[in-house]
Amino acid sequence: MDRPTLAVWKFTSCDGCQLTLLDCEDELLPLTERVEIAHFPEATPRTRPGPYDVSIVEGSVTTPTEVERIRWIREQSRVLVVVGACATSGGIQALRNLADVDEFRSVVYASPELIDTLATSTPISAHVPVDYELRGCPIDRGQLLEVLTSFLAGRAPDLPDTSVCTDCKRRGLTCVMVAHGTPCLGPVTHAGCGALCPAVRRGCYGCFGPMNGPNVPALIPLLRRHGMGEGELDRVFHTFTTAGEWT
């Protein structure tokens, strides 16, 4: 029986989330026995034409060409999984959404007229329907493997939709905000990292983006009470997930 095909696509990004797949060293070989890697330029020059059973998409949409390309990939893919802060909320490059992209272009590039770009950096879901979104910068390898193995097992993946506080409690960590007065975005941030930062007594700075239905207005007075000024508040909500919906 033919193995299902897997394609990995890059849009505007740093490649870090694709590297997370390559970093699954112990799991990658068994995985390649179960799926055929049909397109993954980061790993192999071999490619085969679609359609594809599963497409993993990294990166945000920042050029007119990428708008067309993501529509084509959606048509070619049975299941579309978008991975990382760029693909799920525009990424760091979405800082352009708050500024004048023509000014950036004229300052950064020697020949700005050669740069064909959009005024915004947008998540993949702004352009096509997606099946699963994995948050993070980069993503968590455990979540990536969960999506792929659940596909092979014919079941829905078990992905969290709660906040980082939930992971914190599961690990039995002391709350850095309550115990040490450290500002923490955990109550409004999507779970999935395993509460990495509170585990080393740092506050969460929201790199997994907003959880479903985050109560940001309730958290802001607490963050202020623990020393965050307006500038810091603005920065912390506009770093990895500028185009994400915090409110």
- Contact call for residue 197 and ligand SF4 (CB under 6 A): yes
The whole-angstrom separation of Cα 220 and Cα 33 is: 49
Rounded to a whole number of angstroms, the minimum distance from the CB of residue 238 to ligand SF4 is: 14
CA dist 206 to 31, 181, 215, 246, Å?
31, 17, 13, 10
14 token code pair: 């740093």
Nearest alpha carbon to residue 115 among 125, 99, 131, 104: 104
- Contact call for residue 198 and ligand SF4 (CB under 6 A): yes
How many residues touch ligand SF4 under the rule CB under 6 A: the total is 21
- Contact call for residue 134 and ligand SF4 (CB under 6 A): no
179 by Cβ neighbours in 10 Å (0-12 / 13-18 / 19+) ranks as: exposed
Rounded to a whole number of angstroms, the minimum distance from the CB of residue 244 to ligand SF4 is: 12
Rounded to a whole number of angstroms, the minimum distance from the CB of residue 129 to ligand SF4 is: 26
Rounded to a whole number of angstroms, the minimum distance from the CB of residue 30 to ligand SF4 is: 28
- Contact call for residue 193 and ligand SF4 (CB under 6 A): yes
Is 56:39 a contact under the CB 8 Å cutoff?
A: no
- Contact call for residue 219 and ligand SF4 (CB under 6 A): no
With respect to ligand SF4, which residue has the nearer C-beta, 124 or 177? 177
The whole-angstrom separation of Cα 235 and Cα 160 is: 26
Stretch that binds ligand SF4, among 11-19, 42-50, 65-73, 196-204 (CB under 6 A): 196-204
Stretch that binds ligand SF4, among 11-19, 24-32, 144-152, 201-209 (CB under 6 A): 201-209
Classify 90 in phi/psi space as left (phi over 0), alpha (psi -120 to 50) or beta: left
Site track 154-183 with ligand SF4 (rule: CB under 6 A), x = hit: ----------xx--x----x-xxx------
In this structure, what are the phi and psi dihedrals at residue 134, rounded to the nearest 5 degrees? -110, 125
Residues that bind ligand SF4 (CB under 6 A): 164-165, 168, 173, 175-177, 184, 186-187, 189, 193, 195-198, 204-208
